[in-house]
Structure 1
Amino acid sequence: MKTDETAAPAPPHRAEDPEPPPPGGILWSIAGDIRVFLSLPPALALQVAHPAVGAGVDDHSVFRTDPWGRGERSLRSLLLWVYGGEEAAEEGRRLRELHKPIRGTDARGLRYHALMPANYAWVHATGFPVYRQAQRYLGRPFTDAQERQLYAEWLQVGRILGLHDRDMPASVEEFWPYYRRILAEELALTTVAAELIGVDRSLPPPDRGPRAVRLVARALWPVLLPPLARFRSFVTIGLLPPDAREAIGLAWTPAQERRLRRFGAVVRTVVPLLPERLRYLPAARRARARHRAAARG
C-alpha cells in the first residue's frame, strides 16, 4: 500500500461530473477502514464468478503476474471514488478508457465487452451485498435505514464510474430480485473465481511497501505463505453472501461459520479502538482530516 502523501494537482472539474458520496456518509466510514482488506477479496471473487467478467480478467488482467500491484491499484481506485472529491470523476473516466479494449469470448462461447452495461453493472453491484455481509461479521449489522443509505451512496459511485441510472436497480427493493436472477442464471465457479477463492500457494512475496518489510517478508515467505493462503481463502469464502456461495457451488461448514464468527468478534472489538492513523488508510485519513478542518473553518 503506497503511503506517499504528496497529492497530485486536482484535474479540472466539469460541471456535469457526478458528485461522490457525501462526507460523513456510510462509505466515508467503511471504504477506507482497514477492514476493507478483508471485504475486497470476496467482492472480487463475486465479480469474476460472472463468466463474462471472469473471461475479461482471465484474458486481460495482470493479476497472475503482478498480484500485489493489481491489488494496490484496485484499492487506490476505490478510495478515489469515495474520498477523491473532484478526482473521483476523473478516475471514473480513466477506468472507462482502460476498459474500452477489453473484449473477447467467454467460456460459454458468448462475446463479451467490459463496458457492456450488464457486465459493467454487475462488477459494481457486487460491492453492496459484500459490504452488507462483511458488516454482519466485522462490525455492527446495518439497520434497514443504513442499508438504504449505503445503496443510495453506492449508486452515486456507479454514476462516477459511468453507469447510467437505467443500468442499476433504483432501490434496495429492486436490487434483490436483480441480484438473485444473476445468481440463478449467470454465476459459476469460473477459472478466475476458483483461483481467487482457492488456497493459492504461488503468490509471490510483497514487492512494495517499506524495504525492511519486503526483505523480512521475502526471507520468511516459505513459512508465511501457507497459513496466509489458507486464511485468505477462508475469509474470501466466508464473507461471500451465503446465497452467492451456494450459486457458485462453494462448501461452507458449521465449524467454519463458528470460526468466522469468533474471528469477526475480535475484529469488531479491536478495530474501533484503534487511533485513526492506524484504523484508516492514508487517502481516507487525509480526506477525513480535510473535511473536519473545513467544517471548523
Structure 2
Amino acid sequence: MTTTDAPATEDTSPDGADPTAQAQAPSRLHGFFRDPRWALAMVRATVLEAAHPAIGAALVENSTFVAHPWRRLRNTYQSTQRMIGTDPAVREWEAARLNRMHARLQGTDAKNRPYNAMDPGARAWVVATLFESSVTMFRLSGQPLDQDFVEELYEEFRAMLAAMGDDPGLLPDTVPEFWQYFDKVVATELENTEAMRVILYRLFEHLPAPPLLSSLPTMWVAARTVAAPLVGMVAVASLPEPFRRRAGLPEIPGAQTVMQGAYLSVGLVRYLPSSWTDPDNIIEFLSAAPGSDQPAARTLAAVQSQIERAGALLRLLSPLHDQDEREAPSATTVSPAAAAQRKEAEDFFRQVLDQTGNGSLDWPDLAAMARELSSRLNLDEPQETRLYQAFADWWHELQAALDTDGDGSISAQEYAAGAPAMAGPALIRVAEVLFEATDRDGNGQIDPDEYRVLFRTTFHRDTADGNATAVTRSAFVKEFVAFMAGRKRTTPFDPLLAEA
C-alpha cells in the first residue's frame, strides 16, 4: 500500500533475507519503474488513492508526506524496488514489514468513519490505481499499449497484491472486468477528501526544498512558483472526467493540452544520457544531506560555493535600503535573547516534532519517528515493536507533562512552555532502545558501519565523549536526548528527523 511512509535503506537486501533464494527474471514493471513518465503516473495514482475515504484518512492522520516529502519519496522508492525486485526473499521480507506498518494505522476520519490500512478493499484499490495509471501514462503519451501487453501487466499487478498477502481475487480476473470495477469505484466510492486537496493544492505549492538545495531558498521558491501550478493542472486534467465533475474540480481552458504536452515532453527525457535520468541518481540527489559524503552533496557544494560568491558580489553592488523601508519595531519589546529562543523552539517543533505537519504534536508524529528509524535500520518484528513501544511510552509521558488543556494533543505553545519536561525517563529509554537496535553486533558501541546505516553518512567524530572511532552508549543517549528535548541541534540527528 503506497499511501503511507515506506522503508528506506542503504542496501537492497534486508537482514534476514535468504541469500540462496532463487531470483526471478525481471518483470515488465522494471521498465515502467525507470521510465521518466512514471513520475507523472505516480502523482496521478496517489491522487486517486487519496480520494478513497479510508486511504485519504490514513494519509492525513499518519503520513509525513506534507512535512517531509523528499524523505517520503526516497522511502517509497526503496520499498517499491524491493516489491518489484527479482529476489523473492527480499520481496517477502518487505511485504511483511509493510503489513506490520499498515496494521498500526487505524482510527476514524473527520466524518467519524473508521479506517484501517489493512482493509482489503483499500489495499486492492492502491494496486488498481497503479495499474490503471501505468496504462494511462502510455495512452496520454500517444503510445497506447497493445492488449496482450496490458493483460500481462495486469497479472503482474495482481501478483503484487498476492505478495502482500491479499487475495488477488479482490481485483477482477480479466482486464475488461477490471475497467468496469475501476469505473464503479470512481463513480461510487471516491470523494473530494482533504488528503486529495492537500496533494493538488498545497503539497506542490508549499513543497520544501530538497536538503541539498535548502541553502538556495530564493532559487527554489522561484522554480516552485512556476512549476507547482503546472503540476497541479496536469494532475487534475489527467483524472477521470466523471470524478472531476462529481468532485467539483476546476475545468481550466487548455488544461488537457498542457497535460498531454507534459506527458509527451517528459517522455522525451528518456532519450537523454541514462546517468541523467537514472532513478537511483535522482533519488540520491533529492535525499542527500548537505555535508554528507555522497557524490551529489560534494558536487552541489562546489556549485553553491560559486553561487555564494556571486551573491556576495551582487550585495556589494546593490544600494542599501532606506531606513524608513525597514520593518517598524513591534509595540511589544522583546529582548533579542528571548526572541531567538522562541524562534529556535518554534523551528524545532515544526521541523522535528510535528512530523505530519498538522501544527500539533500527536501520537502519529512519534509513530512516524519510530517508523522512519525502523526503516533505516531494517528492524525485524521484535526490535521494531520495542522501538514503537518506547515511543508510545514517551508519548504518554509527554501528554501527562505538556497537554495542559487536556485536548489529547500538544500545541506549539504548550511545548514552548514545558519543553524542559521532554527529557524524562521515557525519552532516555527511547535513546537506549535505538542504541541497541543500531548496535547490531552488540559490542556496546556504534561502529562506523553501523553509524552509516542509521545516519547515511560517514562517522561524525564530534561526539559527546570525544571518541574518534565509535560512539559509546552513554554518548549516544546523551546526544539523542539533548536533541529530542530541543536543547541542542546536532549535525547527525538533524538529517535523521528534521530534513524534508
Place the TM-score, normalised by the shorter chain, in its bin: 0.7 to 0.9
Alignment partner for residue 163 of structure 1, among 155, 162, 166? Answer: 166
Alignment partner for residue 273 of structure 1, among 271, 275, 287? Answer: 271
* 1:122 counterpart = 2:121: no
| Distance verdict in 2 for CA 1:9–1:103, change over 3 Å | closer
Q: C-alpha offsets along residues 228-280 of structure 1, whole Å, 9 cap, x if unaligned?
A: 21122122223334344345332344511112223333333x23423433343
CA distance in 2 between counterparts of 1:6 and 1:39 reads 26
Q: Contact conserved, 1:105 with 1:112, CA < 8 A, in 2?
A: yes
Q: Percent identity?
A: 26
CA distance in 1 between counterparts of 2:215 and 2:33 reads 29
Alignment partner for residue 52 of structure 1, among 38, 51, 54? Answer: 54
Q: C-alpha offsets along residues 186-205 of structure 1, whole Å, 9 cap, x if unaligned?
A: 11110010110125432211
CA distance in 1 between counterparts of 2:183 and 2:247 reads 12
Tell me the CA shift for residue 55 of structure 1: 0.6
- Aligned Cα RMSD in Å? 2.9
Q: Which residue of 1 aligns with 2:209?
A: 205
Tell me the CA shift for residue 167 of structure 1: 2.0
CA distance in 1 between counterparts of 2:142 and 2:29 reads 14
Q: Which residue of 2 aligns with 1:99?
A: 102
Q: Which residue of 1 aligns with 2:80?
A: 78
Q: Which residue of 2 aligns with 1:63?
A: 65
The 3-state SS of whatever aligns with 1:12 is: coil
| Distance verdict in 2 for CA 1:75–1:243, change over 3 Å | farther
* 1:185 counterpart = 2:184: no
Q: Contact conserved, 2:234 with 2:258, CA < 8 A, in 1?
A: no
The 3-state SS of whatever aligns with 2:153 is: helix
Q: Which residue of 1 aligns with 2:115?
A: 112
Q: Contact conserved, 2:137 with 2:263, CA < 8 A, in 1?
A: no
Q: C-alpha offsets along residues 138-185 of structure 1, whole Å, 9 cap, x if unaligned?
A: 362111111111111111111222221232222212212221221122
Tell me the CA shift for residue 20 of structure 1: 9.2
Q: Which residue of 2 aligns with 1:145?
A: 148
| Distance verdict in 2 for CA 1:250–1:22, change over 3 Å | farther
Q: Which residue of 1 aligns with 2:215?
A: 215
The 3-state SS of whatever aligns with 1:204 is: coil
CA distance in 2 between counterparts of 1:243 and 1:155 reads 26
| Distance verdict in 2 for CA 1:87–1:252, change over 3 Å | farther
CA distance in 2 between counterparts of 1:153 and 1:249 reads 34
The 3-state SS of whatever aligns with 2:84 is: helix
How does the TM-score come out when normalised to structure 2? 0.50
**Long gaps (5+) in structure 1:** 284-297
CA distance in 2 between counterparts of 1:21 and 1:184 reads 38
- Relative contact order, higher structure (CA 8 A, sep 6+): 1
CA distance in 2 between counterparts of 1:252 and 1:68 reads 30
After the TM superposition, which of the residue ranges 126-135 and 104-113 deviates more from structure 2?
Answer: 104-113
| Distance verdict in 2 for CA 1:199–1:66, change over 3 Å | closer
CA distance in 2 between counterparts of 1:10 and 1:141 reads 41
CA distance in 1 between counterparts of 2:246 and 2:80 reads 26
CA distance in 1 between counterparts of 2:164 and 2:77 reads 15
CA distance in 1 between counterparts of 2:45 and 2:10 reads 27
Q: Contact conserved, 2:38 with 2:134, CA < 8 A, in 1?
A: no
| Distance verdict in 2 for CA 1:271–1:20, change over 3 Å | farther
| Distance verdict in 2 for CA 1:115–1:35, change over 3 Å | same
| Distance verdict in 2 for CA 1:244–1:11, change over 3 Å | farther
Q: Which residue of 2 aligns with 1:250?
A: 249
| Distance verdict in 2 for CA 1:204–1:169, change over 3 Å | same
Q: Contact conserved, 1:93 with 1:161, CA < 8 A, in 2?
A: yes
Q: Which residue of 1 aligns with 2:226?
A: 227
Structure label with greater radius of gyration: 2
For 1:225, give the aligned amino acid.
Answer: R
After the TM superposition, which of the residue ranges 179-188 and 271-280 deviates more from structure 2?
Answer: 271-280
The 3-state SS of whatever aligns with 1:112 is: strand
Q: How do 1:17-56 and structure 2 match up within 5 A?
A: 22-23=25-26, 25-56=27-58
The 3-state SS of whatever aligns with 2:219 is: helix
After the TM superposition, which of the residue ranges 196-205 and 42-51 deviates more from structure 2?
Answer: 196-205
Q: Which residue of 2 aligns with 1:290?
A: none
**Long gaps (5+) in structure 2:** 1-7, 282-500
After the TM superposition, which of the residue ranges 77-86 and 147-156 deviates more from structure 2?
Answer: 77-86
| Distance verdict in 2 for CA 1:146–1:20, change over 3 Å | farther
How does the TM-score come out when normalised to structure 1? 0.81
**How many pairs align?**
273
CA distance in 2 between counterparts of 1:14 and 1:173 reads 39
Q: Contact conserved, 2:187 with 2:243, CA < 8 A, in 1?
A: no
